[in-house]
Structure 1
Amino acid sequence: MTSTGTLSRAQGTALCVGAVLGTGVISMPALAADVAGPASLLAWLALIVLSAPLAGTFAALGARYPDGGGVSTYVRLAFGARAAAAVGWCFFFAVPLGAPAAAAFAGGYVADILGGGHTTMVGTFLVILGLVVTMNWFGLRISGRAQLWLTGTLAALLVVTVVAALPHARPANLTPFAPYGWAGVGAAAAVLVWGFAGWEAVSSLSGEYRDPRRDVPRATAAAVLVVGVLYLAVAAASVLVLGPALGDSPAPLADLLAAGVGGPVRVVTAVVAVLLTIGAVNAYLAGASRLGAALARDGALPARPVRTPRRSLMVVTAGSLVSVTLPISLHTSMLLVTGCFTLVYVLGTAAALKLLPPGWARRGAALAFVATLGLLVLNGRPALLSLVVAAAAVAYASRSTSPKIRIPSSSSAGSIAPKPNTNPVESLP
């Protein structure tokens, strides 16, 4: 099937990489090492391996059912409107909570150079949010091209950083391997979910591809390969080069580059951190803007505030500005957001088990379903927020009347009808 979308395969790959790689590469090595030591590499490896079936599941669903609702649409087709509302709300309301947390990592790098502490971090967030909103206001043709340039540049910079630092690697830094016990690996995995969230974000963009059936799986496969290689390379180099100091590092990528190159590299890494964060926030806001419009179409959200992608974008932006004022620690914010995303994964992979035909894609979905259930448990008490949001969504969906959505043939890659206007340039506020 040929779509009227404007997103090329290369742009789609760049959006996938930006959504998943994002702030994880500038912050997660230190956070994971802080709770697991060198054994955090096992958590990295486990999450990278899990990414393949998880991303493949959402790619298979996106190719068959390209729609702005993303995971919410798949769950609607499999389990009905109430379950779909729960998924949609978990993702839609997690994005504004997660955007300030994502920008906080880049803000820390900027504050490391300019000073100013929390004020500089908030200022960095406002600049990043303003740039991303502007790009998305003018549509995916603009934001997709910008993301392609960003991703290529940043991948090259990360490769240079790792190659320059590896000569300074010391195998002795791998001992003691598990100073916090094997339970630390599970704790690290719960933290690292933040760094691997994103496959569900780009599923809302599946209807924007020029040829969803062909391009979605290929773009996703390329993104899985790029993300896996870059994450494992940066994490391994960080542990081997920085050693015990990694867990206490506020800017591990800067320390890694300084070890390999020397000299005043913190300005370079601050720029990299900001660009990575722009890429991640861009992908999430692009997905959330289309998801909000799709949820309004399906009766899962009030139609007036979010009935077009532009209006939905403004709601997410307003929520992000409110979230940055909340007295919540960065670690708590991360766990609250990852709890919501993990529940989205659980329900999305469960929907795949029902919607996908027998074959490798459904086997991958089964593996991803079991793994994401485990991650939800590892998330602990912060995962309760996802259950509260899901319950509120079910209550709202029970009171509203949703339009009847036609379920396309499983052999077709057709969109869900009625299809929303997914071009924000044409969707006036």
Structure 2
Amino acid sequence: MSTLTVPQGVALSTGAVLGTGVISMPALAAGVAGPASLIAWAALVVLSAPLAWTFAALGARHPDGGGVSTYVGLAFGPHAAAAVGWIFYFAVPLGAPAAAAFAGGYVSDVVGGGRTTVLVTYFAIIGAVFTMNWFGLRISGRAQLLLSGVLVVLLVITVVTALPHADRANLRPFAPHGWAGVGAAAAVLVWGFAGWEAVSSLSADYRRPRRDVPRATMIAVAVVGLLYLAIAVTCVLVLGPALGSSAAPLADLLAIGVGGPVRALTAVVAVLLTVGAVNAYFAGASRLGVSLARSGALPPSLTSTARRSLAVVMLGSSASVFLPFPLHTVMLLVTGCFTLVYVLGTAAAVRLLPHGWSRVVAGFAFVAVLGLLGLNGPPALLSLGIAGAALGYQWISSTSPTARERGVTSPMIEATTSASPAASPMIRKIDAPSVKN
């Protein structure tokens, strides 16, 4: 039964977008653009409105839990939908170390130890998450919404207490790394705005999707935009040049605004948020791997069960933490994957939505995210390579003798024909299901 109301939809959509990134993204953006990173923040907030509206329009017209995979499949066929699945699936092992690195920075800020502490924190987090998913333990959607609520309260307290210490002199020099830094910052900040596709995946749960999905979406866009801009402006004005090298910017702001043992508190919040987020991604990816294997889009020997799929994700995450790339580059690799998914999703919207205002908005969103993919630079080649590998694997598997014997000619992501939100790890930010064989 569809029971989701507008306030509940706002809470779920806000929780899907707000995540671990906000605890460290202000520092990462400032590190590549200085105070001019505020332009990148504003641009992403403005882009969020048409992007979220596009997915809301798709959700209102085609209520289904499959999300982006469903729409890409409807617009461009099963092979394109399977490529979306590959991009999601292989982005998770890359994204988990980056997310855990944010929490590790906060723990290191309290106990010291530098990179060693960050690594210990990371392996503790993914070890706990792997164990929970292996034995079918569950972090409920309510618990994750509670964590998101704690983050919102923390952000509000941080802004209110720290902003009186702002110094406009910290805006100079405004663009110490040149204006190209703004584009680089925007590419990184995509991390914090991933999740708007969850709006469409929740559409089938609303009582009145055509009316309630757009309302909930626009309110959520306003809430997320205000929170992000408020924390970004406060970080720049209060922390100044020190922001770019800060491992725990929220802790720094709270120490200035409130004082006391706030660093330990923010470290605990950062770890809990990261456990919830990584658990969501691992749970969603493990089920997605099974779906892809069942449809012939991934080798069944690797991901035919949820535990096998979970093990693949775990091994990939453990290996990627030792990649010889700085955190900024790793984030660009992941955000390149997110951005390509948005490119495909908005392109599908242009094809599926009827002529009128919604299609115009979808066209604008498509051009904008295509530009973001370009700003991503060389790391975007990874996402294109994954998509190409997905298409190549499907072609090879569909022409093999075994496939012909089984009658497999067109692999398809299960999510494009079912209402399971597990097809998108990003969607699982909202609710992390248990993983079973």
Normalised TM-score (structure 2): 0.84
Indicate the residue corresponding to 1:106 in structure 2.
Answer: 103
1:128 matched to 2:125? The reply is yes
2:53 to 48, 52, 56: 56
Greater shift, 104-113 or 69-78, is seen at 69-78
CA contact (8 A) 1:15 1:279 kept: no
Q: What displacement does 1:237 show?
A: 0.5
CA contact (8 A) 1:68 1:294 kept: no
Instruction: Summarize deviations over 1:31-89 as a string: whole Å, max 9, x none.
Output: 11122221111110000111122122223334444555432221111111222222221
Q: What displacement does 1:139 show?
A: 8.0
CA contact (8 A) 2:340 2:373 kept: yes
Indicate the residue corresponding to 1:412 in structure 2.
Answer: none
Residue identity opposite 1:35 in structure 2: V
1:21 matched to 2:11? The reply is no
The separation in 1 between residues aligned to 2:214 and 2:313, in whole angstroms, is 28
2:112 to 105, 108, 115: 115
Indicate the residue corresponding to 2:392 in structure 1.
Answer: 395
How do 1:266-305 and structure 2 match up within 5 A?
Answer: 266-303=263-300, 305=302
Q: What displacement does 1:284 show?
A: 3.1
The separation in 1 between residues aligned to 2:416 and 2:339, in whole angstroms, is 25
The separation in 1 between residues aligned to 2:269 and 2:384, in whole angstroms, is 35
CA contact (8 A) 1:19 1:281 kept: no
CA contact (8 A) 1:41 1:236 kept: yes
The separation in 2 between residues aligned to 1:175 and 1:426, in whole angstroms, is 50
The separation in 2 between residues aligned to 1:175 and 1:348, in whole angstroms, is 39
CA contact (8 A) 1:310 1:424 kept: no
**Mind listing any 5+ residue stretches in structure 2 that lack a counterpart?**
399-407, 423-430
Indicate the residue corresponding to 2:91 in structure 1.
Answer: 94
2:38 to 26, 37, 41: 41
How do 1:200-211 and structure 2 match up within 5 A?
Answer: 200=197, 202=198, 205-206=201-202, 209=205
The separation in 1 between residues aligned to 2:309 and 2:158, in whole angstroms, is 38
How do 1:230-309 and structure 2 match up within 5 A?
Answer: 230-303=227-300, 305-306=302-303
Q: What displacement does 1:212 show?
A: 8.4
Instruction: Summarize deviations over 1:325-379 as a string: whole Å, max 9, x none.
Output: 4333212211111111111111111011111223433222111100111111111
CA contact (8 A) 2:287 2:435 kept: no
The 3 A distance-change label for structure 1 pair 67 and 294 is farther
How do 1:348-387 and structure 2 match up within 5 A?
Answer: 348-387=345-384
1:181 matched to 2:178? The reply is yes
Indicate the residue corresponding to 1:213 in structure 2.
Answer: 209
CA contact (8 A) 2:165 2:257 kept: yes
Indicate the residue corresponding to 1:327 in structure 2.
Answer: 324
Q: What displacement does 1:30 show?
A: 1.2
SS in 2 for 1:198: coil
Instruction: Summarize deviations over 1:81-122 as a string: whole Å, max 9, x none.
Output: 222222221121011111111110110110121223333222
1:71 matched to 2:71? The reply is no
Greater shift, 228-237 or 395-404, is seen at 395-404
Aligned residue pairs, count: 418
The separation in 1 between residues aligned to 2:115 and 2:341, in whole angstroms, is 31
Residue identity opposite 1:170 in structure 2: D
The 3 A distance-change label for structure 1 pair 383 and 406 is closer
Greater shift, 244-253 or 343-352, is seen at 244-253
Instruction: Summarize deviations over 1:144-196 as a string: whole Å, max 9, x none.
Output: 01111111111111101110001111122222222333222112112212222
CA contact (8 A) 1:293 1:308 kept: yes
The separation in 2 between residues aligned to 1:193 and 1:17, in whole angstroms, is 15
Greater shift, 247-256 or 284-293, is seen at 284-293
Percent identity over the alignment? 70
The 3 A distance-change label for structure 1 pair 9 and 235 is same
Indicate the residue corresponding to 1:191 in structure 2.
Answer: 188
- The two structures, once aligned, show a CA RMSD in angstroms of 3.3
CA contact (8 A) 2:82 2:390 kept: yes
How do 1:79-90 and structure 2 match up within 5 A?
Answer: 79-90=76-87
SS in 2 for 1:381: coil
The separation in 2 between residues aligned to 1:212 and 1:301, in whole angstroms, is 36
The separation in 2 between residues aligned to 1:205 and 1:139, in whole angstroms, is 23
CA contact (8 A) 1:108 1:251 kept: yes
The separation in 2 between residues aligned to 1:345 and 1:388, in whole angstroms, is 16
The 3 A distance-change label for structure 1 pair 49 and 204 is closer
CA contact (8 A) 2:394 2:411 kept: no
CA contact (8 A) 2:78 2:411 kept: no
The separation in 1 between residues aligned to 2:201 and 2:253, in whole angstroms, is 35
The separation in 2 between residues aligned to 1:334 and 1:294, in whole angstroms, is 26
2:163 to 163, 166, 178: 166
The separation in 2 between residues aligned to 1:67 and 1:75, in whole angstroms, is 13
